[in-house]
Each structure stands twice: as C-alpha cells, then as structure tokens.
Amino acid sequence: MAALNAGIEKAKEINTKMNIAVVDAGCNLKAFVRMDGAWLGSIDIALKKARTARFFDMPTGELGKLSQPGGRSITSSIPTGPYHVPRWCTIRDRDGMIIGA
C-alpha cells in the first residue's frame, strides 16, 4: 500500500522506527506495519492518530494548533482521546475526496 510505504520512507528519512496505521474514510483499520524496534506502546497511538486525522479531516499537527490552551477544546469530542502529533494526515484520491488517514 502506497500510504504504508510513504510512512516507512519518512521514518527512515528521519531515522525513527515507527508504527504506521492507515484507516479508511470510516476510520476502519485498513493497514498497519510495525517497524522492527518500534515501541510497543506506540501501536495504539498510531491507530488513534490516524483516526483523529480522519475525524477532523486535517493533519493532526494543525489540529494541535487549534486545541492549545486558550483555544478550542476538542478533547471531550473524541472518545479515544485526541492525538495532535504532526505528520499524520488525511489521504485523498485524485479528485480531492478524503478516502482515509
């Protein structure tokens, strides 16, 4: 899957071992890879970050900017908890339709 490969390449580029989750437009897990040596604790976080990107249809780094102290409070709107770490984003088809994250 292209999204997994892109994630793996980015992880190599920044010299980090990652867990990479891809969800479809309905937030269902479509693909997952755990790079050798990636933290076990990050498995759940990877899925939650992918789902958060889809819930709000924006990169989670941008979502984090909106939810800083004094800004919008979104924590209570996500049952799994929001994840605002940068580099997690929505996936769009050629027509710009969001098909996953």
Residue 12 belongs to domain with CATH number: 3.30.450.150
Mean pLDDT of all residues in 21-36: 93
Instruction: Count how many domains the chain has.
Output: 1
Beta pairing partners, 100: 24, 91
Considering the entire predicted model, what is its pTM? 0.70
Q: What is the pLDDT of residue 48?
A: 84
Q: What is the pLDDT of residue 83?
A: 47
The widest CA-to-CA distance across the chain, in whole angstroms, is 39
Token output for 28: 């269902």
pLDDT higher than 80, residue 78: no
Q: Which domain, by its residues, includes 54?
A: 2-100
Whether 23 contacts 30, CB under 8 Å? yes
